[in-house]
């Protein structure tokens, strides 16, 4: 039988940029990001570059008429909901894009690409001044520190200077500027969002990596995608910067250079949610069958599973209501749900900062018998004592987990597979077991149970 067609209508996003043969930046990065964000990507290619993760080998600008023809073809057929620009290369191309942006009412995000991350120049000498007119027509301008300096004359070497540059751009007629802080030294990356009405700083911990190829392209494409969905500008920026922070941390180890950002990171993570929850369920079922009830602490046991790119407890599957011990054996008090655990999920996420391969964790009771069993198993074991934590750590909600993991992992030669929390008055001592996969966590838990003495 002939099946009924069931079409979907995603918003359409247009990218006007150069092609990166290495796939990490330019049109390729934009289209990956747009599609991963749930929109339909269309493109106008301004130039073709021969490049990879180590640099640009050559650049070939397409004829202006061909660029115009692409623009006309896309806009004549698609209801474009938002657009972004990348590498425009020459004054003529920038003027063409400025004309088209001015004629349109759709949101336009302008990434003023002037220099590649490798240091290679991507903009014609006579084209820099043309960017000022395009910037004035844009919904948002997203310069990095170097580009902001070119556009304003202000050396952006601090967050304060970034704000001054953003204010200068707004004074020059730009509606909104996001001055990116990736090139500014500091423990955190701080992006400065400036409009006539507000100044907002968006901060993320800096990732120790040089694999940032395509980061600017990805950010502007992600913001444009959210604008096509109807998000307000501030929300679109926060969503885009959160996505980029994750894409940089879980960067792609491809090519002989530093690598590229992970454009599909959010889509890949979403795809892993159900399999991760199923693996947590498998762990719970296996431990119930092995009757490891004697390991259940008074506060109850929980099992947490993090998706491969999890960053917050809401991205960890766990047992709602924890696992308890009854006469019949081990009993889960609720279903498997994302965000169901605070303690174990926070511990697991903190451990992943030191050993990203860890995906699963659970807590057990801790006493003299368990301590003797751990010593006999000769596993790498870490520990911390809550009585030793600084007062400011104890006073901050959730800070004990990060502090405790730091004590257990920071000087360990081999990542601990078990971490002892010796507790304090009103806090039960516990052990947290960690593993990269579900079968390993099952094996470690049942082995500990048998070593302690089984039933």
Report pLDDT digits (tens) over 216-262.
Answer: 999 999 999 999 999 999 999 999 999 999 999 999 999 888 889 99
- Beta bridge partners of residue 201, listed in sequence order: 192
All domains of the chain, ordered by start, with CATH?
12-268 (3.40.1190.20), 272-452 (3.40.225.10)
When the pLDDT of each residue in the chain is averaged and rounded to a whole number, the result is: 91
C-alpha span between 295 and 301 (Å, rounded): 8
Angstrom distance (rounded) from CA 157 to CA 149 = 10
User: What value does the mean pLDDT take over residues 31-56?
Assistant: 93
Q: How confident is the model at residue 57 (pLDDT cuts 50, 70, 90)?
A: confident
Closest CA relative to residue 222, chosen from 45, 48, 52, 15: 15
- Between CA 203 and CA 271, with CA 353 as vertex, the angle to 5 degrees is 85
% of the chain surpassing 90 pLDDT:
71
Say whether pLDDT at 46 is over 90.
Answer: yes
Q: Has residue 119 got a pLDDT over 70?
A: no
Give 268's Cβ-side CA count (13 Å radius).
15
Per-residue pLDDT averaged across 53-67, rounded? 90
Say how far residue 377 (Cα) sits from the centre of its chain.
37
- Length, in residues, of the chain: 455
pLDDT at 52 over 70: yes
**With contact defined as beta carbons under 8 Å apart, do 304 and 336 qualify?**
no
pLDDT value at residue 357: 95
SS3 156: coil
Q: End-to-end distance of the chain based on CA atoms, in angstroms?
A: 59
DSSP-assigned letters across all residues of 212-240: -BTHHHHHHHHHHHHHHTT--HHHHHHHH
Whether the CB-CB separation of 338 and 273 falls below 8 Å is answered with yes
Three-class SS state of 363: strand
- Which of 391, 53, 336 is closest to 211 using CA atoms? 53
Q: How far is CA 319 from CA 285, 401, 428, 436, 449, in A?
A: 12, 19, 20, 19, 20
Tell me which DSSP letter residue 55 carries.
Answer: E
- Weakest mean pLDDT among 5-9, 177-181, 363-367, 384-388: 384-388
Residue that wins the pLDDT comparison between 28 and 186: 28
The residue with greater pLDDT, 209 or 169, is: 169
Structural tokens at position 409: 């992992």
Model pLDDT, residue 179: 95
- How far apart are alpha carbons 249 and 243 in whole angstroms? 10
In tens, the pLDDT along 345-385 reads 999 999 999 999 999 999 999 999 999 999 999 899 999 98
Token pair 């250079």 in the structure block, residue: 257
Query: What are the start-end ranges of the E strands in 186-308?
Result: 188-195, 199-205, 303-306
Q: Is 116 a residue whose pLDDT tops 60?
A: no
pLDDT at 59: 86
| Cα within 13 Å of Cα(110), Cβ side | 28
Looking up tokens 């119930």 gives 288
Query: For residue range 228-240, what is the model confidence (pLDDT) as tens digits?
Result: 999 999 999 999 9
Please report the pLDDT score of residue 125 as a whole number: 66
Percentage of the chain beyond pLDDT 70 is: 97
What's the CA gap between 33 and 39, in Å, rounded? 9
The 10s digit of each residue's pLDDT in 67-91 is 999 999 999 999 999 999 999 989 9
Q: Which three-class secondary structure state does DSSP give residue 425?
A: coil
Other residues' Cβ atoms within 10 Å of the Cβ of residue 425: 6
Residues 6+ apart with CB under 8 A from 63: none
The residue behind tokens 């030294």 is: 185
Indicate the Cα dihedral angle 371, 377, 378, 383, nearest 10°: -30
* pLDDT (tens digit per residue) in 278-334: 999 999 999 999 999 899 999 999 999 999 999 999 999 999 999 888 777 788 888
Measure the CA–CA gap between 435 and 306, rounded to whole angstroms: 11
3-class DSSP string for 380-414: CEEEECHHHCCHHHHHCCCHHHHHHHHHHHCCCCC
Tokens of 149: 């300096």
90 neighbors 67 (Cβ within 8 angstroms)? no
Q: Whole-angstrom Cα distance, residue 374 to residue 452?
A: 9
């Amino acid at each position: 039988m002939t099946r009924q067609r069931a079409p979907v209508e995603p918003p359409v996003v247009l990218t006007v940029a150069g092609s990166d043969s290495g796939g990490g930046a330019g049109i390729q990065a934009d289209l990956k990001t747009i599609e991963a964000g749930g929109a339909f990507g269309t493109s106008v290619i301004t130039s073709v570059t021969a490049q990879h993760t180590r640099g640009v080998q050559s650049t070939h600008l397409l004829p202006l008429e061909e660029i115009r023809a692409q623009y006309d073809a896309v806009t004549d057929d698609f209801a474009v909901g938002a657009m972004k620009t990348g590498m425009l290369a020459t004054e003529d191309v920038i003027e063409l894009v400025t004309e088209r942006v001015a004629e349109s009412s759709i949101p336009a995000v302008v990434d003023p690409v002037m220099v590649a991350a490798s240091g290679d120049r991507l903009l014609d000498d006579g084209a820099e001044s043309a960017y000022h007119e395009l910037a004035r027509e844009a919904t948002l301008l997203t310069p990095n520190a170097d580009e902001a300096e070119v556009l304003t004359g202000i050396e952006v070497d601090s967050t304060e200077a970034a704000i001054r540059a953003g204010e200068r751009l707004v004074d020059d007629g730009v509606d909104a500027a996001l001055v990116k802080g990736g090139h500014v030294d500091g423990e955190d990356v701080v992006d400065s969002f400036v409009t006539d009405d507000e100044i907002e700083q968006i901060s993320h911990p800096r990732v120790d990596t040089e694999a940032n190829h395509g980061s600017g392209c990805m950010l502007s494409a992600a913001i444009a995608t959210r604008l096509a969905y109807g998000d307000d500008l501030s929300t679109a920026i926060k969503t885009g910067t959160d996505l980029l922070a994750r894409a940089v941390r879980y960067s792609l180890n491809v090519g002989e250079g530093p690598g590229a950002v992970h454009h599909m990171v959010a889509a890949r993570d979403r795809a892993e949610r159900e399999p991760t929850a199923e693996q947590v369920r498998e762990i719970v079922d296996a431990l119930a069958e092995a009757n490891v009830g004697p390991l259940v602490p008074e506060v109850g046991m929980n099992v947490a599973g993090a998706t491969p790119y999890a960053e917050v407890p809401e991205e960890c599957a766990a047992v709602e209501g924890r696992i308890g011990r009854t006469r019949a054996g081990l009993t889960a008090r609720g279903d498997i749900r994302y965000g169901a655990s605070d303690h174990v999920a926070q511990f697991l996420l903190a451990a992943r900062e030191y050993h990203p391969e860890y995906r699963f964790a659970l807590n057990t009771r801790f006493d003299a018998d368990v301590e003797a069993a751990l010593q006999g198993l000769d596993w790498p074991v870490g520990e911390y004592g809550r009585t030793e934590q600084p007062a400011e750590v104890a006073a901050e909600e959730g800070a004990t987990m990060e502090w405790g993991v730091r004590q257990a992992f920071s000087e360990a030669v081999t990542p601990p597979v078990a971490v002892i929390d010796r507790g304090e008055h009103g806090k039960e001592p516990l052990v947290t077991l960690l593993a990269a996969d579900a079968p390993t966590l099952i094996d470690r838990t049942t082995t500990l149970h048998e070593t302690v003495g089984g039933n």
